[in-house]
């Protein structure tokens, strides 16, 4: 009876979390009596989990929720890039002017792919620090190839102070052209390094 209850709980958690809790995470919290029983249990549940998870992905993929999460991750990565010194100074303008343009670029790109390919789009996890322009990249998780690259460049036109120029590049032209997202004024003083 105890094994049956654990298996049922495990399968329910797997279904409800859609992969947010992995089988090994749940098993680490369960105090199995024997190591052999636990290994056999993990293998059987993992097979059931993979079948259930692929069924859910095929039958209940929600494009809007997926895009919303991608945009949310883009915002988080951007704030991580800004760091604690730049973020408070430009956060409001970024959210009001730049983020909607990032959202539009993501939506336009996603509209070019069939639904099966959209599921494979992922966002990179680490923005570039120091003087690097990279904020984040969107790539195809299956092939590992970049689709979009979002950057921010520091501009210092004569007698105009420092500006942050947000733009992106696409795979269509091998990442050569700049597609403008907008610019935010910093100050006449040199801005700190990214992620500082």
Q: Where are the domains of the chain?
A: 2-60, 63-187
Report the alpha-carbon distance of residue 139 to residue 141 in Å, rounded: 6
Report the alpha-carbon distance of residue 161 to residue 157 in Å, rounded: 7
Q: Which helix (H) or strand (E) holds 153?
A: strand 146-155
Q: Give yes or no for residue 135 having a pLDDT over 60.
A: yes
Question: Is 45 within 8 Å of 24 (Cβ atoms)?
Answer: no
- Map tokens 């500082």 to a residue: 196
At 22-57, the pLDDT tens digits run 444 444 444 334 334 434 434 444 444 444 344 444
Question: Is 37 within 8 Å of 72 (Cβ atoms)?
Answer: no
Query: What CA–CA distances, in Å, run from 89 to 82, 174, 190?
Result: 10, 33, 13
At 138-179, the pLDDT tens digits run 999 888 999 999 999 999 999 999 999 999 999 999 999 999
Strand positions, DSSP E, the chain = 121-123, 134-140, 146-155, 162-170, 179-187
Highest mean pLDDT among 13-17, 37-41, 60-64: 60-64
* Residues across the chain: 196
Q: Which helix (H) or strand (E) holds 151?
A: strand 146-155
Q: How far apart are the first and last CA of the chain?
A: 55
Report the alpha-carbon distance of residue 105 to residue 93 in Å, rounded: 18
């Amino acid at each position: 009876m105890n094994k049956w209850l654990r298996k049922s709980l495990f399968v329910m958690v797997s279904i409800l979390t859609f992969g947010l809790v992995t089988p090994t995470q749940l098993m680490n919290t369960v105090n199995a009596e024997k190591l052999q029983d636990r290994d056999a249990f993990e293998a059987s549940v993992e097979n059931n989990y993979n079948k259930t998870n692929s069924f859910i992905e095929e039958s209940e993929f929600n494009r809007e929720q997926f895009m919303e999460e991608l945009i949310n991750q883009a915002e988080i990565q951007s704030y991580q890039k800004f760091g604690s010194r730049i973020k408070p100074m430009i956060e409001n303008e970024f959210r009001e002017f730049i983020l909607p343009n990032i959202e539009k670029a993501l939506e336009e790109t996603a509209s070019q792919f069939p639904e099966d390919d959209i599921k494979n789009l992922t966002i990179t996890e680490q923005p570039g620090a120091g003087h690097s322009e990279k904020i984040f990249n969107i790539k195809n998780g299956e092939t590992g190839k970049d689709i979009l690259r979002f950057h921010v460049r520091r501009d210092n036109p004569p007698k105009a102070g420092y500006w942050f120029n947000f733009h992106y590049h696409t795979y269509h032209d091998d990442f050569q052209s700049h597609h403008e997202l907008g610019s935010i004024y910093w100050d006449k003083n040199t801005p700190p390094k990214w992620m500082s």
